[in-house]
Amino acid sequence: MSTTTKQDKKAYRLLEYPEEYPGLLERREFDRKLLLFRYPAFEINTSWSLFKTDKAFWIRRIEWDRSKRFPSEDAEPFTFGCEVSCSSELAENILSSLSSIAFCPLKQPELIGLDGTIHGIKTGNYWLSCSLRWWDLPTDDWQPLAQWFDKSVNMFERILPKSTCRSV
């Protein structure tokens, strides 16, 4: 039995397709170079995206406070979004360091658990893309990717404004 509600599905759609976020400048999926997400079981779920338009780069953060679900499944999820420009140097550094990571993503880990945190990365677009997810603590093989993920999120957070969602 699934416990995912209509509201949850709406929120995950906003997190994983941030170019559609209402109230922020409309972006195209084809301009999104990178999407990172972290979904802790009992905390705020967040995605970070890197967009490139013409010669400018933009970082967009979308946050969803799952604890503030409304009683109605049809209600809009409690989300916040923001976007800032970032230097080409930072954006290109993040993208090139990701492309240099080598590991075997198809090796099946022997993990079991409840709750925890789901992490993920998406690159590309509808026509050519790559999507990776891992649960909580990555295996040794996935450590370089997990370390890159944490470092990239920290760089994004230094540029983005203070989280509205975390201060409400």
CATH number at 140 reads: 3.30.1560
Residue 136 lies in a domain: yes
Residue 61 lies in a domain: yes
Percent of the chain with pLDDT strictly greater than 90:
58
Residue 160 lies in a domain: yes
Q: Across all residues in the chain, what is the average pLDDT?
A: 88
pTM of the model as a whole: 0.91
Residue 97 lies in a domain: yes
The 10 Å Cβ neighbour count of residue 65 is 17
CB-side exposure of 7: number of CA atoms within 13 Å? 17
Nearest CA among 21, 55, 56 for reference residue 35: 21
Q: Which domain holds residue 80?
A: 6-167
Angular region, 136: left φ>0, alpha ψ -120 to 50, beta rest: left
Residue length of the chain: 168
**Confidence tier at 36 by pLDDT (50, 70, 90):** very high
Residue 1 lies in a domain: no
Residue 54 lies in a domain: yes
The count of structural domains within the chain is: 1
The average pLDDT across 27-43 equals 94
Please write the tens of the pLDDT for every residue from 39-91: 998 899 999 999 999 889 999 999 999 887 766 767 788 899 999 999 999 99
